[in-house]
């Protein structure tokens, strides 16, 4: 008899590669912005949605490497400080890994984790931005980026679910 999570989970490098590719794609999309009612809202927090729904069976070593490299790519693509998003992505992945959650994709728990991820990212980006630039970031910009990513989170989650069923990894969704 084993207790919950006492047995070693089966890890694979392929879920990490697919999620890493999605993280790279969302990092590339994070340079886009939309203008609504005179306000410009960016997609800077869109890659964090991928981290919020990272596959449970992804290899840990491959995941850390791909998350860090996707962060470096996002820093390069957005023209930001090299290492800021890489640090944020890596720490977010390490703190909020889905395999450590009992029900990783339950709606209420996902929204709670999403709120914690956004709060942690804002704090980390603010501190690292202050250290580099000696100015505090615009809270309205952060709020609009979080709003845009939150509005897209259900779409990202549905796409993740569809891909999980397509590749035969649907057992994560039955809990």
Query: What CATH number is associated with residue 91?
Result: 1.10.1760
CB 24 within 8 Å of CB 71: no
User: Is the pLDDT score of 3 beyond 90?
Assistant: no
Question: What local confidence, expressed as pLDDT, does residue 8 receive?
Answer: 52
In a domain, 8, yes or no: no
User: Is the pLDDT score of 128 beyond 80?
Assistant: yes
In a domain, 7, yes or no: no
Q: Give the model confidence (pLDDT) of 135-146 as tens digits.
A: 888 899 999 999
Q: What is the mean pLDDT of residues 52-73?
A: 92
Q: How many domains is the chain built from?
A: 1
In a domain, 45, yes or no: yes
Q: What is the mean pLDDT of residues 22-28?
A: 94
pTM over 0.85: yes
Q: Supply the range of the domain harboring residue 168.
A: 13-173
Q: How confident is the model at residue 9 (pLDDT cuts 50, 70, 90)?
A: low
């Amino acid at each position: 008899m084993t207790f919950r999570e006492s047995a070693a989970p089966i890890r694979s490098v392929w879920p990490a590669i697919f999620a890493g590719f999605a993280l790279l794609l969302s990092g590339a999309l994070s340079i886009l912005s939309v203008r609504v009612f005179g306000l410009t809202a960016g997609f800077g927090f869109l890659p964090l949605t991928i981290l919020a729904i990272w596959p449970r069976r992804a290899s840990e070593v491959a995941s850390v490497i791909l998350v860090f490299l996707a962060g470096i790519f996002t820093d390069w693509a957005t023209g930001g400080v090299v290492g800021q998003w890489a640090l944020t992505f890596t720490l977010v992945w390490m703190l909020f890994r889905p395999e450590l959650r009992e029900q990783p994709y339950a709606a209420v728990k996902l929204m709670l984790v999403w709120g914690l991820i956004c709060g942690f990212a804002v704090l980390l980006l603010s501190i690292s931005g202050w250290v580099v630039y000696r100015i505090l970031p615009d809270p309205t910009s952060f709020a609009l980026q979080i709003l845009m990513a939150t509005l897209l989170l259900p779409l990202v989650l549905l796409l993740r679910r569809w891909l999980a069923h397509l590749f035969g990894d649907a057992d994560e969704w039955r809990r």
